[in-house]
Amino acid sequence: MAGSYLHMLLSEDFDVGIKDVRAEPDCRCAWGIAYKQAKKLYMEIGIDLDEYILLKPKYAVANGIKIKNRNIVIFDKKRLLKNLWEQIEFKEVKADLFVDATGYKRVLLPKLDDKLYPTIQMIEEHDAEENIYAYARRTGYAWAFPLGSNRWHIGAGDLNETRAFELIERLRQEYEFGEGDKICSCKSKIRMLPPSKCRPFVSGNVIGVGEAIGCVSGFGEGNAPALESAKILYECLINDELGEYEKRILKEFKWIEEEHKFVEAIQRGKMLSAVLRLPEVISIERERSAELSLNLLFLLRDLIRNLKP
Ligand SMILES: Cc1cc2nc3c(=O)[nH]c(=O)nc-3n(C[C@H](O)[C@H](O)[C@H](O)COP(=O)(O)OP(=O)(O)OC[C@H]3O[C@@H](n4cnc5c(N)ncnc54)[C@H](O)[C@@H]3O)c2cc1C
Q: What percent of the chain has pLDDT over 70?
A: 97
CA nearest ligand 1 atom 10, residue: 221
The reply to whether ligand 1 has any atom less than 6 angstroms from the CB of 308 is: no
d(C-alpha 154, C-alpha 134), whole Å:
10
Position with higher pLDDT, 121 vs 273? 121
Contact present, 245 and 233 (Cβ < 8 Å)? yes
**pLDDT higher than 70, residue 191:** yes
pLDDT, position 308: 53
Report H helices in the chain. Answer: 2-10, 35-43, 77-86, 161-175, 223-238, 245-252, 254-267, 271-288, 294-306
- DSSP secondary structure of 53-75: EEE--SEEEETTEEEEBSSEEEE
Contact present, 242 and 207 (Cβ < 8 Å)? yes
d(C-alpha 43, C-alpha 285), whole Å:
24
Shortest CA distance to 49 belongs to which of 167, 223, 290, 276? Answer: 223
Contact present, 20 and 84 (Cβ < 8 Å)? no
For residue 147, count other CB atoms closer than 10 A to its CB.
19
- DSSP secondary structure of 78-115: HHHHHHHHHTS--B----S-EEE--GGG--SSPP-S--
The reply to whether ligand 1 has any atom less than 6 angstroms from the CB of 195 is: no
Contact present, 13 and 199 (Cβ < 8 Å)? no
For residue 266, count other CB atoms closer than 10 A to its CB.
23
Q: What percent of the chain has pLDDT over 90?
A: 80
Q: Classify 2-306 by CATH class.
A: alpha beta
End-to-end alpha-carbon separation of the chain, Å? 33
Distance 72 CA to ligand 1 centre (A): 18
Distance 306 CA to ligand 1 centre (A): 31
Q: What is the mean pLDDT of residues 164-181?
A: 93
The reply to whether ligand 1 has any atom less than 6 angstroms from the CB of 26 is: yes
**pLDDT higher than 80, residue 296:** no
CA nearest ligand 1 atom 9, residue: 32
Angle at 231 between CA 189 and CA 41, to 5 degrees: 90
What pLDDT digit, counting tens, does each position of 38-92 carry?
Answer: 999 999 999 999 999 999 999 999 888 898 999 999 999 999 999 999 999 999 8
Contact present, 279 and 292 (Cβ < 8 Å)? no
Shortest CA distance to 100 belongs to which of 202, 234, 224, 251? Answer: 202
Shortest CA distance to 37 belongs to which of 260, 256, 277? Answer: 256
d(C-alpha 262, C-alpha 289), whole Å:
17
Distance 99 CA to ligand 1 centre (A): 15
Please give the order of strands across the beta sheet that includes 32-34.
32-34, 72-75, 53-55
pLDDT, position 8: 97
**Torsion sign over Cα 306, 34, 17, 240:** negative
Q: What is the mean pLDDT of residues 139-148?
A: 96
Exposed/middle/buried for residue 200 (C-beta within 10 Å: 0-12, 13-18, 19+):
middle
**pLDDT higher than 90, residue 154:** yes
pLDDT, position 306: 61
From 33, 120, 211, 289, give the residue whose CB has the most ligand 1 atoms within 8 Å, as the site to mutate. 211
Enumerate residues 6+ apart whose C-beta is below 8 A from 118: 157, 158, 160, 161, 164, 187, 188, 189
